[in-house]
Structure 1
Amino acid sequence: MTAAKPSSVGVGLALAGLGAVGFSGKAIIAKLAYRHGVDAVTVLMWRMVLAAPLFLALAWWAGRGQAKLTRADWRDVLFLGFTGYYLASALDFAGLQYISAGLERLILYLNPTMVLLFGVFMQGQRVQPRQGWALGVSYAGVVLAFGQEVNLGAGGDTALGSALVLGSALSYAVYLSRSGQVVGRLGTLRLTGLATSVACALCLLQFVLLKPLNAAWVPAPVLGLSLLNATLCTFVPVLAVMAAVQRLGAPLAAQVGMVGPFSTLLLASWLLGEVFTPGMLAGTVMVLAGVWAVSRRA
């Protein structure tokens, strides 16, 4: 950071913030689409189909002049595409049918703590006292936000939606835990393009297996929202965050990304009419404080 030019740092901060807000907007747009009578399978299919050409182009561009993928590379790409982009997205969009966008973003933001717990249970890593406190604060914040939503009358739907989104967060944590070595071999852009393209194909296959083909005919507003989701809330944030990491480094870019949950709360209150309670704000602060402590320690 001391060697970085101020202009580069400023651009990096702006890109990191843009990426965080873009990713957060995905939930807002999905819930707006649900108001037109479509379900999660259809919304996800259109989002991924419209994003597919962009990620295929990214994979091609990043792979120019690189070695061909081996059978082991393809196996890793398929696994990471399934866990990190297909399963995580499918569970997330399903859960958004039952819970608020604010609660969804908080649960997803537990990813770093889940990666830490994977290291503890699967690799024998030890949790330092500060990390233990951070984990406790993060999950207590989610419980507080969950309780606030239950009190607003959602009841069992909140439990179901939260479980689905928690499954999404776990699936993406598996992706994060397994992707490090593959990134070293293929590069971030190439792996992202390939893995996301795999997920796009799986989302289309899921739609074909679960829905009649005429269900693809959706109202025009849904197509417009899906296009926004595929570009401004999927492809553009991926590139923005990667560019921010190049300028700032991963730790600072991740800290700037903490504006994401707050932007979700504000956008959900403005565009969706979701109730923005003091309890939800307190839960958000607790989750971000815990995740920040875990990420800073790492």
Structure 2
Amino acid sequence: MQSPIRHTSGLMLAAGGATLFSLKGIAMKLAFAQGANVEQMMALRMGISLPFFLWIGWRASKRRETKPTPRLIVTAAALGILSYYVCTWLDFTGLKYISAQLERLILFLYPTIVALFAWIAFGDKITWRHAVALLLSYSGVTLLALNEFSAAGPDAMLGAGIVFATAVLFAFYVTASKPVIAKLGSPLFISIAMSAAAVPILIHSFAISAFETTPLSPAILANGVFLAIPCTVLPALMIAEAIARIGPGLMSATGGVGPAATALAAALILNEPFGPPQAMALVLTVTGVMLLSKPVVQTRQIPRP
């Protein structure tokens, strides 16, 4: 029987990991205010975090009894490029036009899209619980989106559309990566995925830097470190350990902490408004997605874009 201390520590790790992941948008908003561009922050995030993930992958490979097949490695690399390059670039680009709160709520919809993919591709049933979850979660996002559209107009619509495209692509990544993660294990998969994504990220960053010269100020560098370590490496390790201690089911149940933490940090740090529309949107979206926590529990072990 699991000890109460281990159970409690697992819940704390899960909540902490979800909270740290959710602060990515805050770090990016601060970086934008300091003059950084998307490509610069992606390069900093990858360059600083990659050595940690390579070490994680090296340890994982040493523990394997058999080497992964080349096809499996290529598949993991392709999925990594999709998630950590394409999805990240789209997410960070969309974040320039919308609030950190709306960005987090839209991305938080990805389990509902996974459920739709499973229905289309595998014939999984859509139950009343799914229907209610979809209604609640999309009503919440729509409420907050309309509130921002009325204030920011077309720019907010563009940003929301880009981030929603990110959520769709990430849902595809989650669906396609599940059998690959099962064969490789989460640590080795993340290491391969991150390493593969580093190549196009750095090429893209260097190409942009030839046309846009943004000095690497101490403030931008500090945000890059914050984005890479507390918002990427630490939560990935914390969530992996949380799954080991309490299992993926309880880990998934803590996911609603993320949008709430983003809303609080956005209000306190970025001075984003948080009133009745934001509160209602948060409650509706988190409630809806949590209704779908069981079908997507196995996807919480991998970091978001």
TM-score bucket of the superposed structures, by smaller chain: over 0.9
Same amino acid, percent of matched pairs: 34
In the alignment, structure 1 residue 27 sits paired with structure 2 residue 20: no
- Measure how far apart 1:213 and its partner are: 8.0
In the alignment, structure 1 residue 292 sits paired with structure 2 residue 260: no
- Measure how far apart 1:216 and its partner are: 6.4
Equivalent position of 2:259 in the other structure: 261
In the alignment, structure 1 residue 157 sits paired with structure 2 residue 161: no
Decide whether aligned partners of structure 1 residues 214 and 220 sit closer, same or farther in structure 2, where only a CA change above 3 A counts: farther
Equivalent position of 1:16 in the other structure: 14
Alignment match of 1:56 (pick from 48, 54, 57) = 54
Distance in structure 2 (CA, Å) of the matches to 1:214 and 1:54: 29
Letter in 1 for 2:274: F
Decide whether aligned partners of structure 1 residues 9 and 220 sit closer, same or farther in structure 2, where only a CA change above 3 A counts: same
Assess if the C-alpha contact under 8 Å between 1:91 and 1:164 holds in 2.
yes
Distance in structure 2 (CA, Å) of the matches to 1:95 and 1:248: 34
Distance in structure 1 (CA, Å) of the matches to 2:145 and 2:211: 37
Equivalent position of 1:229 in the other structure: 227
**Bigger mean CA deviation after superposition, 56-65 or 259-268:** 56-65
- Measure how far apart 1:56 and its partner are: 1.2
Distance in structure 1 (CA, Å) of the matches to 2:15 and 2:140: 23
Q: Secondary structure of 1:249's partner?
A: helix
Equivalent position of 1:193 in the other structure: 191
Decide whether aligned partners of structure 1 residues 216 and 61 sit closer, same or farther in structure 2, where only a CA change above 3 A counts: farther
Distance in structure 2 (CA, Å) of the matches to 1:277 and 1:203: 37
Aligned counterparts, 1:215-254, within 5 A: 215=213, 217-254=215-252
- Measure how far apart 1:68 and its partner are: 2.6
Equivalent position of 2:145 in the other structure: 146
**Bigger mean CA deviation after superposition, 267-276 or 179-188:** 179-188
Letter in 2 for 1:122: A
Equivalent position of 1:134 in the other structure: 133
In the alignment, structure 1 residue 37 sits paired with structure 2 residue 35: yes
Q: Deviations over 1:123-155 (max 9, x none)?
A: 22220122111111111111001012123x211
Provide TM-score, normalisation by structure 2.
Answer: 0.93
Assess if the C-alpha contact under 8 Å between 1:131 and 1:294 holds in 2.
yes
Q: Secondary structure of 2:288's partner?
A: helix
Alignment match of 1:274 (pick from 269, 272, 285) = 272
Q: Deviations over 1:22-43 (max 9, x none)?
A: 1011110111011111211111
Q: Deviations over 1:149-196 (max 9, x none)?
A: 123x21111111111111111121111101111112111111011111
Question: Over aligned residue pairs, what C-alpha RMSD do you find?
Answer: 1.5
Assess if the C-alpha contact under 8 Å between 1:19 and 1:257 holds in 2.
no
Distance in structure 2 (CA, Å) of the matches to 1:253 and 1:65: 25
Distance in structure 1 (CA, Å) of the matches to 2:10 and 2:281: 28
**Bigger mean CA deviation after superposition, 267-276 or 68-77:** 68-77
Assess if the C-alpha contact under 8 Å between 1:50 and 1:227 holds in 2.
yes
Q: Secondary structure of 1:64's partner?
A: helix
Provide TM-score, normalisation by structure 1.
Answer: 0.95
Letter in 1 for 2:178: G
Assess if the C-alpha contact under 8 Å between 1:110 and 1:138 holds in 2.
yes
Equivalent position of 1:174 in the other structure: 172
Q: Deviations over 1:1-60 (max 9, x none)?
A: xx3210011110110111011101111011101111121111111111111111111111
**Bigger mean CA deviation after superposition, 65-74 or 136-145:** 65-74
Assess if the C-alpha contact under 8 Å between 1:20 and 1:259 holds in 2.
yes
- Measure how far apart 1:234 and its partner are: 0.3
Assess if the C-alpha contact under 8 Å between 1:20 and 1:237 holds in 2.
yes
Assess if the C-alpha contact under 8 Å between 1:59 and 1:194 holds in 2.
yes
Decide whether aligned partners of structure 1 residues 199 and 46 sit closer, same or farther in structure 2, where only a CA change above 3 A counts: same
Distance in structure 2 (CA, Å) of the matches to 1:197 and 1:171: 19
In the alignment, structure 1 residue 109 sits paired with structure 2 residue 124: no
Distance in structure 2 (CA, Å) of the matches to 1:133 and 1:5: 36
- Measure how far apart 1:74 and its partner are: 1.9
Assess if the C-alpha contact under 8 Å between 1:42 and 1:215 holds in 2.
no
Distance in structure 1 (CA, Å) of the matches to 2:84 and 2:37: 19
Letter in 2 for 1:78: A
- Measure how far apart 1:224 and its partner are: 0.8
- Measure how far apart 1:297 and its partner are: 5.8
- Measure how far apart 1:214 and its partner are: 7.6
Decide whether aligned partners of structure 1 residues 72 and 297 sit closer, same or farther in structure 2, where only a CA change above 3 A counts: closer
